[in-house]
Amino acid sequence: MKNHFDAIVVGAGYIGSSVAYHLSKAGLKTAILDQGPIAAGASRANYGNIQVQDLELEHSVTMIRQAQRHIETLEEELDWNLGLRKLGGLLPIENENQWNILSAREKSLQSIGIQASMITASQLQEVEPTIDPTNLLGGLYHSDEGQLDPFQLIFAYLTRARAFGLQEFYHTQVIGFEVEHSRIKSLKTPNQNFSAEFIVLCTGAQTAMLGRKLGCDWNAIHYVLGQAMVTEPLPIQMRNHLASASFFEMGADIPAGVLLANMAISQSTHGNLLLGESMFEADHFDKNLPYQALPSISRSVLKYFPAFRNLRILRGWSAAIADTRDGLPLFGPVESIKGLYMATAFRSTVIVTPLAGKTITQLITTGQSELDIQAFLPERNAYVSH
């Protein structure tokens, strides 16, 4: 049958492209579908930072450790220049509450072997010479994070997967599913249907909406609109990607409708500064910036980097990021619908991208995986109800 595959991956972002590569490489006749072009979702809107210290501390440690090892060999495996480089990660702290939260986090990170350390205000410029420490108490610093070029990674996966026979269908939106005797059979798009033994949803923030087409209330997945902008290239070289410690003050719940401006800065491999990030829990996917975003991002950045005052902004954007209340991804088989898998809502997606593809492929081809995914099962804690 023309549109019958062993496996269909829905979503051509970081996660979907990795899953499609690993499934194709394992010899499965695989298709990838996206409602837009390649990287139509959050994967075209981010900094490409490989974040180690931004992990959920209870269940995600093994995943992040394994994920780190896969990143190290990635350029070699794909035989592709991904712009991979080492970078520090710095969380500047501006009040005592943040200091206390991050001191506790430092101890937890160290106890699981992650080398993050608290530094004082007077040490800040040693690790990031461009920062103005005047209004800061210090920071939590990790010397061993990194960055890659998001588009190179996604293109590399898809190009290599093509050589293993991957078939690609872009501008092809999944609008429904057929489930028979609790087993996934096919999915519907406006012009044609596709059938497969296995379907993997790598659909990021839109996964909950797709769940409704399956009669499932995937209430775990909510989403925030993350917003950022890019400047003209700078001659200086920043040593770190920075995110305000206020991210950790927020807790899991971002109040609906409230715009939060937490500084997040990275420099791209081309020298441009990526400035963010204001975010709010949203009920729409508007890629345009709301009018408050540019000034709120600018204010949060200029607090620590007054030297950037006269930089020219080239453009800004917004993208929906999937999030869960417990900070864990939805990753593994949907047990109530045989043949259906999910890989979405990772807290730091870039670092887990290679491991996610490998793990889903092991689950599909052998029924088990090296990584223990028990805590990430999509239907944990009645996260998914029918």
Ligand X SMILES: Cc1cc2nc3c(=O)[nH]c(=O)nc-3n(C[C@H](O)[C@H](O)[C@H](O)COP(=O)(O)OP(=O)(O)OC[C@H]3O[C@@H](n4cnc5c(N)ncnc54)[C@H](O)[C@@H]3O)c2cc1C
Interface residues with ligand X (CB under 6 A)?
A: 10-16, 33-36, 40-43, 45-49, 51, 173-174, 202-206, 210, 226, 228, 276-277, 319, 321, 344, 348-350
Query: Closest CB to ligand X among 137 and 282?
Result: 282
The nearest distance, CB 226 to ligand X, in angstroms, is: 3
The nearest distance, CB 122 to ligand X, in angstroms, is: 28
Alpha-carbon span 143 to 89, nearest angstrom:
6
The nearest distance, CB 83 to ligand X, in angstroms, is: 13
The nearest distance, CB 192 to ligand X, in angstroms, is: 13
Tokens 């990838």: give the residue. 32
The nearest distance, CB 297 to ligand X, in angstroms, is: 10
Give 319's strand partners: 226
**Helix %, strand %, coil % of the chain (to 5):** 30, 30, 40
The nearest distance, CB 121 to ligand X, in angstroms, is: 25
Query: Closest CB to ligand X among 158 and 202?
Result: 202
Cβ–Cβ < 8 Å for 281, 224:
yes
Alpha-carbon span 105 to 99, nearest angstrom:
10
Query: Closest CB to ligand X among 132 and 281?
Result: 281
Query: Closest CB to ligand X among 98 and 353?
Result: 353
The nearest distance, CB 76 to ligand X, in angstroms, is: 21
What is the b/e burial string over 139-150, where b = at least 16 CB atoms within 10 angstroms of the residue's CB? bbbbeebbbbbb
Query: Closest CB to ligand X among 137 and 243?
Result: 243
Query: Closest CB to ligand X among 36 and 327?
Result: 36
Neighbours of 209 (CB within 10 A): 13
Alpha-carbon span 18 to 356, nearest angstrom:
7
Alpha-carbon span 258 to 292, nearest angstrom:
11
Query: Closest CB to ligand X among 205 and 337?
Result: 205
Alpha-carbon span 35 to 56, nearest angstrom:
31
Query: Closest CB to ligand X among 350 and 377?
Result: 350
Supply angle C-alpha 150, 155, 157, rounded to 5.
100
The nearest distance, CB 172 to ligand X, in angstroms, is: 7
Give CA 317 to chain center in angstroms. 16
Burial class (CB in 10 A: 0-12, 13-18, 19+), 362: middle
Distances (CA, A) of 243 to 47, 121, 251, 381: 12, 16, 15, 31
